[in-house]
Structure 1
Amino acid sequence: MARRARDVYTEWRGGTCRVKWWTGEYHDDGRKRFESKGGFTDEDEAYDYGLDKMAEIRQGTSVSNRDGATLMSDWLDDWLAGMDHAHLTERAYRSAIENHIRPYFKKRNTAVKDVDVLAYRAFRKHVNNVLAEGSAKNVMMVFGMVLDDAVPRLLKTSPVERTRRRGKFKKKAKERKKDVTPESVEQLARNARIVFGQAGYAFVWTMALTGMRPAELYGLTREYCYPNWPSSDPRPDADEEDRYEEDLERYGQGGERMPAIRVERQVQYKDSELRFFPPKYESSRTLVVPPFLADLLEQLLASHDHRWVFPAIQGNSLGAINFDYTYWRLIADGAKERKGRSPRWDRAAIPEVPSFKGKRLYLLRHGHKAWLDEDGHSKFAVESRMGHEVPGVEGIYSSVTVPMERAIMKSMQERWEALQKRLGRAEG
């Protein structure tokens, strides 16, 4: 063995030369840990290679032989174990990995260091061949994060090819939406009443007038709904005692206090069980409701003894059923009259609602945002009501005041009253 520089050695074995370099690490017994590479036919070339590896170690860009041999499947285990995301995000990432990324690379026994640009393109081609465009894009997004996080320990650089816009700007296609009218919401509500009773009627109007997300409505329980809240608030957070007292002053019953719903959680499935989770983006918030909706909610809660404000037909949470398929498509698209073997299975004909036919339930939330904008409410009050974070100085210094909330209640009540007048004339 010939020493050519400190911690870099070359030696000839048979007809080839091998170079060894210190990794900067030590064995448990205190000896320096070296790595090596053989197969060189020129000693100077081998020596230069060792110097390059030492330089990479000093710069923090070196990938050790041991780390470079890590299999993609093992790295995916480490990556998943280090995730810290909201439940639905984690579920989506895990699905992409377990259903597409892991099977592909495990079958090929691929090491992380072997995933270069060509391997990345081959996987992208595979995904595009077996998945729809949107699903393929999501899988590649997760794969990109997995590879990015492998730098610098397992990869020197990420092989992910970033999309760069060049040439003429091309606007992305947006979902075509029709204006949400009070008449269309009323018809949806009446249809929902046919499908799952008075809870359906109140459910539709509550979503249209609060902008709550579907999973937040599915998980709404009595203690967080008018007229029980805020006096019935479980007060789970000792650090929020001041807010709980302020809520009683601002939204409690009596006098000038405002009726409201408190959004504290949503329901989602995890491990085959329906569970509570924080709202999307941790967007806990209080939503004032107009007087007619407050009355509607009070009557609804008095009519049943279920835990859920809007129970399904069997009394369980709407989150426990496939709401879109079981209820929403009937409500929006309509259905023929149904006669069953028993009168309890009979159902009146359900008229379609043209502006919602084939459309998503989520558009009711979009419609609420449009109504707030039409009525000229404060941007901060609108975004806060929708559960969005307001960026910049406005988000730091603004707050939702009582006059802002009263203005929202007033405008929503006026929409309802104007609708009743139009319906009265039309039906009279």
Structure 2
Amino acid sequence: MKILTMMLADAADERLIPANPIQPRRRGRRRHQRRPEQLWATPEQVVAIALQAIALVGLWAAILIITAAWTGARWGELAGLQRINTHLDDGVIVIDPDIGALHEINGHFELGPPKTAASARTITLPPFLITLLRAFLDTHQHPHVFVTADHQLLRRSNFARRAMRPAADGNLDRIRPRVRTQPVVPGLHFHGLRHGHKTWMIADGIPEVGQARRLGHEIPDDIREIYSHVAPEVEARILQAPATLARRPRQPPRKPRHGHTQAPPARRLTTPPPGPAAPQERRPLLLPRPSRRPPEPAATNPCGTQPPPPPPTPLRRRKPTATAPSRPQPTGTRPGSGTFRTVGSDSWRSRSERDPINPWGQTFP
């Protein structure tokens, strides 16, 4: 069923049938996980990665990285670029529709068409890259532009392991490497240079048609695909986009959102201007004022005896407060004595209502 659907879809694209009678239903195949954002590099970071690639494998790796970042070409398009398609006098490189890409199949190389039909294009080069490629082509006589130091074709896995990964990620975790490199953009892949080139054009306000033509993309709208063209002024802006991005001032830091804290900005230390120092004001020394109260006479005790203790503080009765009527108290008799209250019979009263001298109200004969 799937093969039949693909055949009918191709027939509809070739105008052999009006439409595909079998419309595939993709219900329930939505992506529930967010796709991670592709890393990209600024022009300064690309130059830093290229300089470290020179120390790792050679000059050819640095020129390859810079060409990919400033043209937006794919890996296969640059690995399969030949001298006959490099027109430095005109300042362009041509991605041939038939042999414009180098394909690696089961360890063997084969020249073939690029990824899509729109990938066959002509890419304008900035002036500095023309000079760089002309000097690099004088160092070897290979039909391909980009080859290794041994004049061999490029293998993507070898380049990623030996040049791209150490140059972008750094090798601080390795013990005594041959060349020590610092991390620039950890996790950046070679295809991320293509993403960076598109980001540079977006930042410089290049129209969408100019971005699509340079990167070899197709515009979804058929009318825009047919009637949109790239003017020479747009090409000039594309070549100036990385330089404009590098000269652009940095944006001020964003204000922290609600609930997030931000460290206060550091204060700049400024030195006073040269000149005579201003005299400092002298303040009088403040001393405690003497007391005007006459001193108390010292207590004398000629006999050497201890003074008598102070008299006890008399107990003060508290005023009676209004209370509930007392309940009848149980009484008892003792032989030879009168009536008396039972000990503890008044225990229901609060402590504030009891007599401090006779709290239980006991009577004895």
Equivalent residue for 2:2, pick from 109, 120, 145: 145
Deviation of the 1:304 alpha carbon: 2.4
Structure 1 residues 208 and 272 mapped into 2: Cα distance closer, same or farther (>3 Å)? closer
Matches within 5 A, 1:2-401: 145-146=2-3, 162-165=25-28, 172-178=33-39, 180-227=41-88, 253=89, 259-264=91-96, 265-270=100-105, 272-282=107-117, 283-319=119-155, 322-335=158-171, 347-353=178-184, 355=185, 357-390=186-219, 391-401=221-231
Partners of 1:201 and 1:374 in 2: how far apart?
25
Residues 225 and 150 of structure 1: is their aligned pair in 2 closer, same or farther, counting only changes over 3 Å?
A: closer
1:135-154: CA deviations, max 9, x gaps? xxxxxxxxx73475799xxx
- 1:184 Cα offset (Å): 1.3
Match of 2:135, as an amino acid?
Q
- Name the SS of the counterpart of 1:335 in structure 2: coil
Shift of 1:327: 2.8
Q: Which residue of 2 aligns with 1:129?
A: none
Q: CA deviation at 1:203?
A: 1.0
- Aligned length in residues: 231
- Structure 2 unaligned regions, length at least 5: 9-23, 250-365
Contact 1:219 1:319 in 2 (8 A): no
**Contact 1:274–1:319 under 8 Å retained in 2:** no
Deviation at 1:347, TM superposition (A): 4.0
Q: Which amino acid aligns with 2:86?
A: C
Amino acid at match of 1:276: L
In 1, Cα distance between the equivalents of 2:5 and 2:91? Answer: 49
| 3-state SS of 1:206 partner | helix
Q: Secondary structure at the match of 1:293?
A: helix
Percent identity, please: 30
TM-score by length of 2: 0.55
CA distance in 2, matches of 1:415, 1:222: 31
1:247 alignment counterpart: none
**Matching of residue 408 in structure 1 with residue 238 in structure 2:** yes
Per-residue deviation, 1:315: 1.3
**Of Structure 1 and Structure 2, which has the larger fraction of its residues in helix?**
1
Which segments of 5 or more consecutive residues in structure 1 lack a partner in the other structure? 1-143, 152-160, 228-252, 340-345, 420-428
Deviation at 1:225, TM superposition (A): 2.1
CA RMSD of aligned residues (A): 3.4
Q: Could you tell me how far apart the structure 1 residues matched to 2:145 and 2:204 are?
A: 28
Shift of 1:365: 0.4
Deviation sequence 1:194-249 (CA, Å, 0-9, x none): 2231111111111111110111111112222242xxxxxxxxxxxxxxxxxxxxxx
